[in-house]
Amino acid sequence: MIRCAAIQMASGPSVSSNLLEAEKLIVEAAKTGAKLVALPENFAMMGDREIDKIKIKEVDGTGPIQHFLSTVAKKYAVWIVGGTIPVAGDNENKVRAACLIYNEKGERVGRYDKNHLFDVNVPGTDEVYRESDSIERGDHTLVLDSPFGKLGFAVCYDLRFPEFFRKLVAQGMEILIIPSAFTEKTGSAHWEVLLRARAVENLCYVIAPNQGGFHLNGRKTYGHSMIIDPWGAVLDCYKTGAGFVSAELDLERLGKVRSAFPVLSHRRYNCD
């Protein structure tokens, strides 16, 4: 078994302040024995406007946020899943929402770009989001071999598209990591039920770090970062504010569940 952790933050517009907070929480999680630590979406900055992230975008492979992720991974000897950070793409007026993964030596071992962009009017509120105004969507999936098992990656709004996760399972995913910044309104209605559904239907562990609290831009995010087992049980949950959850993941148990309850092999239709 191996212990993993999900960090919860209420990030603001100051990158330096957010990185200090992130490192503090990574240290605390590492002290519990966590060997894999996942940060939430937009952990390095939640600006006043969506387009603010363009001002801090980094070239792939270099920049202060990427240096931070590599440094803390090596310093505390943990795998770091770097939530999302803004990385330059093809359009100079937009960024990629890139989830970067570093091993315990500080080496980058993977990158996943958010596929589904949150362009919605939240029902019952005056909240309007248009991520496509500032973000280029990704067009690939990522399942990564690790000492913890096969890691699959998604980001926030991806959670609502079950066919996406079937592709990850087909590539061998055992542990799903989904950094997020769910709104208070949508989170209270759908966050836990969607996470538990993904765990149950794919018979996988789910590690879900979320933004959680009031932000200086006036936004409120739902929090309730959690870790869920393949049977849909919530192993740990942190409701609001800065903190983290941690739990031991047992791949031997996961294998037994998949063997005894072989729902994945009973599928009759593909969604390609």
Catalytic residues: 41, 114, 156
Question: Which class for 93: exposed (0-12), middle (13-18), buried (19 or more C-beta within 10 A)?
Answer: exposed
Cα–Cα distance measured from residue 237 to residue 245, given in angstroms and rounded to the nearest whole number: 6
Gyration radius (Cα) of the chain, Å: 17
- What burial class does residue 147 get, using C-beta atoms within 10 Å of its C-beta: 0-12 exposed, 13-18 middle, 19+ buried? exposed
State how beta strands 95-102 and 108-113 pair.
Answer: antiparallel
User: What is the spatial order of strands in the sheet that 205-208 belongs to?
Assistant: 143-146, 149-153, 175-177, 205-208, 225-228, 234-238
